Copies of this chain bind each other. A is one copy, B any other.
Amino acid sequence: MTVSREVELSGHIIDSGMMQSCFGVIMDLGGSFEVDEFDIGRSEVEESYARLTVLADTEDELQSIVHELHQNGATPSHPVDATLEPAPGDQVVPSGFYSTTNHHTEIRHDGEWIPVKRIEMDCAVVVEKGEDDEPCAYTKVLNAIEEGELVVTGETGIRVRPPERPRNREGAFGFMQGGVSSERPSESTIAKVAEAIAETKREGGSVLAVCGPALIHSGARESLARLVREGYVDMLSAGNGFAVHDLERDLYGTSLGMNTETLDHPRKGHKHHIYTISEIIRAGSIEQAVDEGLVESGVMYECIDNDRPFVLAGSIRDDGPLPDTITDSVDAQNAIREQAHEADMVLMLSTLLHSVAVGNCLPSSTRVVCVDINPATVTQLLDRGSAQAVGMVTDIGTFVPMLVEQLLDE
């Protein structure tokens, strides 16, 4: 027995790789296809259109193929409404729920295509009446699903549009397509990143910096503080450790016991670290420590002084933690989610854990620059990214100062 389904693709389906992926999916999953119609865009600015019949041996196989085709942007030819089923319990999704990608998505409801709001991958889509009594669709993470909410199931009535390849290479983000490399010219690449930040700010966008402790150890603290002060970083996402190292530098002139300027006393002493936390707990919070004049410089200081919101997320390897640190991982994830959805550009600076957490919440349309000295980290982060993501394998301790030089000193 052979079963079949008709699907369509439209847009820049060749150069975005969409068509190749779809053909690949069908063959990989053991199906076959016939091309029923194909209108190729006559030039690089015209869109193309393809209609295929996908064939498989069993309905199961067909479903799994069609599922993957969906994820890659194909849609059924004769759209029907998306299927909605009530969640059987809090945090429990109906069987066959639709799990989102991080691409722009629409669902069909009462014969109309409506966009899914707050795009984020691995979520369910919930449909409800909005304030204006119009139906409204948005993503919800599993742990926020409530019993009875109407959740999209199956594959029908959903369309996904993967990001297209930029039509030219002029924009700041055209510059590094084709993967990560430690062998690109570092200074020129940093100049391009500076350009992209400046462009984002000119357009009124918001820049989120996601920071790991290596940034402090490697001596880039003053440079990052300056970016916060001068308004090139609008929000900060980090862990408890990052904040403590930054504050320790202010209180004791050391980071994990080392003076990052003179390199003196590189003993393994951890005492300043614990003292710092103790002092901030005594003050009540980082803000109160700044207010009472205890903390007078650094990244956290500039965030407080210039009203840049920050999220400090706790982890099981923390000391302390600081009073400002959100220790519950679900609460912390929700705070990170808010930041991620507000950001127009994200700088991921030497932290795998926090970058993954932020990246999980980002739609594929957000610009991402990921910097780490470990190529595996950069690759892992970009793999979940989009055409908008740029990776750079370099030393964060030289990257941030050079970025500041490009943005502020020239």
Contacts and interface: CB of A to CB of B under 8 A. Distances in A.
Interface of A: 14-17, 19-20, 23-30, 32-35, 38, 40-44, 50, 64, 67-68, 71, 88-89, 91-93, 95, 97, 99, 121-122, 124, 141-143, 165, 167-169, 175-178, 182-190, 192, 214, 217-220, 258, 260-263, 265-271, 273-275, 277-278, 281-282, 313-321, 327-330, 332-333, 336, 353-354, 356-357, 360, 373-376, 393-399, 401-402
Given A185-B261, A282-B88, A24 B34 contact: no
B38 A43 contact: no
Contacts of A356: 317
Nearest to A190: B398
Nearest to A169: B28
Given A15-B23, A28-B169, A394-B398, 6 more contacts: A91-B281, A122-B319, A142-B319, A143-B320, A316-B332, A398-B398
A104 B44 CA distance: 29
A271 B99 contact: yes
Please provide the 9 A-B residue pairs with the shortest distance between their CB atoms, ordered closest to farther.
A186-B397, A185-B219, A398-B398, A314-B329, A15-B23, A183-B217, A394-B395, A316-B357, A185-B260
Copies of the chain in the assembly: 4
Contacts of A121: 270
A35 B27 contact: no
B27 A188 contact: no
Among A34, A89, A397: residue with most chain B CB under 10 A: A397
Contact of A270 (B14, B99, B315): B99
B67 A44 contact: no
